[in-house]
Structure 1
Amino acid sequence: MLITVIVITALLAAFIIGRVNLAVRFGKTVNRLFASAKPVSDKTFNYDQLTGLPKPVQRYFKHVLRNGQPYISYVSLLHDGQFKTGLDKDWTAIKGEQYFTVEKPGFIWKGTTSLFTARDMYIADKGRLIVSVLSLYNVVDAQGESFNQGELLRWLAEGVWFPTNLLPGDRLKWIAIDENTAKLTFSYNGMSLYYIVTFDGEGLITQMETKRYMEKGRLETWIGKMAGYKQINGVFVPTNIEAIWRLEKGDFCYAKFRVTKIVYDQPRMF
């Protein structure tokens, strides 16, 4: 009995220490992320910027931004929801926190479940995914060119939460397709990325589709679906997002997130 108690106590202590260490490392990474990008809030949005853009894109920005809206520099976000670790796995509850920079593209996300903690990031122009079991052991630490592409694509799609990031500029362009779709292109650090963006009748973005690396050397169709638009801190943003792989066997949704809080231009952790 004594040995059992000692073992359980040691495991509990290791778990607590592991969680504390992970939280400390995560905090340092968030600080490094925010320190890497300059503010862009001296720029403001005005309707003149929409001249020549595809019609659904013009409707979108007129709906989600107000004239004179300062550009958003930093974003802090909380969400809950469900997540799958594999296409054939069951759903598990997840809570997440995420931080973004704009002037220099970057983000870090931490998703926590009862069994594992995942950290997804694009920092210093590098993508990386780390998964830790019980906050103790890294069972995944993936990086490389395919993750650079995938994580930058994630940052770009999640610009729907800070839509001044989707305004046209030197790196970002919109190309007309039809009344309800347009192509978004983004060039950065030698990569040329795109999304086919679908808008509803009001001009709100409901879907973004692209080609993304599912694993090294394997490009597949990736789709993000957006819904539940609400005004948060003066910006109209979706609060429900689903992530889907469109494969030969069909569509496989692996993430359903619901935003619970967004804070703009306060570059610090919750």
Structure 2
Amino acid sequence: MGQQTLGRRARLRIQTTAEIKATALRHMAEGGPDAISLRAIARDMQMSGSAIYSYFDTRDALITELINDVYTALVDHVEAARDALPIDDTAGRILAWATALRDWSLANPQGFRLIYGDPVPGYQTPEGGPAPEAAKRACLGLTGLAAAAWPYAKTTQGGDHAWEDFAPELVDTIRRDNPALPPAGLALALRLWGRMHGLVALEVYGHLGPQSLRPDELYRAEIRDLIRSLRLPASPGDSTLSTQLAD
């Protein structure tokens, strides 16, 4: 079709598909992952039970598309934050990624729960995963940050790691893009993920609020401490995010 305007039927299908997805996320927010049901969504949208199946053949097809959409949106967000800073500003780029991860997760708690929470009961994950491209981008993005930090961090962030400690598919992917990175560098990438993810998960699931009146500052302090532990050189330029490390 090129630049031609979509016809009325195509526009209606796009709008209805978006409404189905939004309704599914709302049902999950209200009743947990088990609440995602095509018939319940159809009932809520005043569609016939058969009509909704013309959009999604099965509940698992809907869930797969939801996970792919959500994961892709998250990765788009953190990559954009990272790439707003110079390539040689490793400290600033790590802080930007972490900050964007928390901001997106708090703005999209249902999406965070869908991709990082308990599995949807009965959901059969398709071969390759529900969001293979987004998952690969997230993995390579964090590993790229670890690889940039590794020349400075290796004196304090080493460890007894071997390639056999990690999933073969992950090792193949990482070694293609970062051939000079040792197994301990991949371990560092996973630890970066764990420290960024931990407090965010507690906050999204409501476990941090009763204990901390300033979860934003708690998270910021955790990421500053993480970056300092990498022994990175002073960040170049006047990056606002990087100068926060000296606060």
TM-score (normalizing by structure 1) = 0.22
Pair member with larger Rg: 2
TM-score (normalizing by structure 2) = 0.23
Name the structure with the higher helix share.
2
